[in-house]
Structure 1
Amino acid sequence: MTAARILDHKGSEVFTVSPDDTLEAATRFLRDRRVGAAVALDAQGRPAGVFSERDLVRAVAEHGAGALSMTVSSVMTRGLITAGPGADVDELMALMTDRRVRHVIILQDGEMTGVVSIGDVVKRKIAEAEAEAENLKAYIESA
């Protein structure tokens, strides 16, 4: 399954925050939408980084409760990890593993079309394994 198909199934809405948002505001945003990350957009509307739960944990561990008044730009993950819509689940999984990230931004012709999370990848891998098990079971039963 490709990134484009994953986005077709889950939807392509991208949750975004401003790099100038406080961690408190950005964390409430994640909580309210029940997501683990949001793309931080610069003034021109381009992805500048990703703010995730991991970034929050690192900030609080280093700065204590005062971290909540820090800005997203001070803790977000820069160096965006991206893939094209044709990337398959195994490619996405390898990219996430190699780069130690949980979210990959999907770009088509330079435009952000969605975000695929590690949870999306795991769901697809489980579905593949279940389908393979069903096929094997059907094959064995027909023999």
Structure 2
Amino acid sequence: MAMTSALEIITNKGNEIWSISAGEMVLEALKRMAQHDIGALIVMEDSKPIGLFTERHYARNVFLKGRSSPETPVRDAMREGFIHVRPDQDIDECMALMTRCKVRHLLVMDGDRLLGVLSIGDLVKSTIADREFTIEQLSNYISGNAA
């Protein structure tokens, strides 16, 4: 069985891209993440991704430093730059990259075009689904119900 690709994962989960501009305030970023039940926003400038803002960035760069979220621009709390994968890269490559780079989110890019974002949770869900499918296929084979 072929490994699931980054493109397949974002297609299955829905490739809605939630973003914020670097000049918007952290409070707006937090509201947007809560509204969409997500843990990260892509920071955009001139329609291009320039970094990420996550709950962790808020905790470390705003809250623990005593900054005010209504008065702190996202650019002062975000991580500039991002780690990305191609749409054809498989789930194992994505997990290895996340582990090596110590990140929880990967942008899926086709050249300069942003296709979506993968979280560690997305990869775990996909891995579990792949394993459940394999177990079902093996169970059917063993019981003689193979299609």
If the length of structure 1 is used for normalisation, what is the TM-score? Answer: 0.90
CA offsets 1:80-129 (integer angstroms, 9 cap, x no match): 10011001111111111111111111111211111111111011100111
**Structure 1 Cα separation of the partners of residues 96 and 80 of structure 2:** 19
Please tell me the root mean square deviation across aligned C-alpha atoms, in Å: 1.4
Higher mean C-alpha displacement, 96-105 vs 67-76: 67-76
Is structure 2 residue 134 aligned with structure 1 residue 132? yes
**Structure 2 Cα separation of the partners of residues 3 and 95 of structure 1:** 12
Counterpart in 1 of 2:44? 41
After TM superposition, give the deviation of residue 28 of structure 1 in Å.
0.6
Is structure 2 residue 29 aligned with structure 1 residue 14? no
Q: Which of 96, 99, 102 does residue 98 from structure 2 map onto?
A: 96
**Structure 2 Cα separation of the partners of residues 127 and 20 of structure 1:** 39
| Uncovered stretches (5+) of structure 2, i.e. residues with no partner | none
Q: Which of 109, 112, 115 does residue 113 from structure 1 map onto?
A: 115
Paired residue secondary structure (1:105): strand
Paired residue secondary structure (1:63): coil
* Amino acid aligned to 1:113: L
Paired residue secondary structure (1:28): helix
Paired residue secondary structure (2:116): strand
Paired residue secondary structure (1:70): coil
If the length of structure 2 is used for normalisation, what is the TM-score? Answer: 0.88
**Structure 2 Cα separation of the partners of residues 110 and 25 of structure 1:** 27
C-alpha contact 1:59 1:67 (8 A) present in aligned 2? no
Counterpart in 1 of 2:53? 51
After TM superposition, give the deviation of residue 77 of structure 1 in Å.
1.3
| Uncovered stretches (5+) of structure 1, i.e. residues with no partner | none
After TM superposition, give the deviation of residue 61 of structure 1 in Å.
4.7
More helix by share: 1
Alignment map for 1:60-99 (pairs within 5 Å): 60-64=62-66, 66-68=67-69, 69-99=71-101
Paired residue secondary structure (1:12): coil
